[in-house]
Amino acid sequence: MPGGSYQTVGGDQQIVVQGETIRFVVRLDSLKTILHDCTFPKHSIWPNGHIQAFPMREAESVLGVGKFDWTWNGTNIISVNVATGEKLIFSHSK
């Protein structure tokens, strides 16, 4: 996955990839009013495209970015809320 900033349409949420580091600035609450900013020192991409950020504390895995399924499709980062099925696409900003 190329480094840089990946943003939603409107640019209010983003994921920044710098080498192994991945930073999520995303809305986690149901009202979509609070931005959650969390940086992980490492991430990996599984053969199926699944993005795994680590190390992830238990609270982060349940209440934070871990409650979403993150995948790389070769062009964009896709976020799926596991509970609701809501999907967001983060595109590389040029």
pTM of the model: 0.89
Topology of domain 4-92 in CATH is: Lipocalin (2.40.128)
Q: How confident is the model at residue 62 (pLDDT cuts 50, 70, 90)?
A: low
Contact 51, 71 (CB under 8 A): yes
Contact 54, 43 (CB under 8 A): yes
User: Domain extents for the chain?
Assistant: 4-92
Contact 79, 91 (CB under 8 A): no
- Average of pLDDT values for 39-60? 89
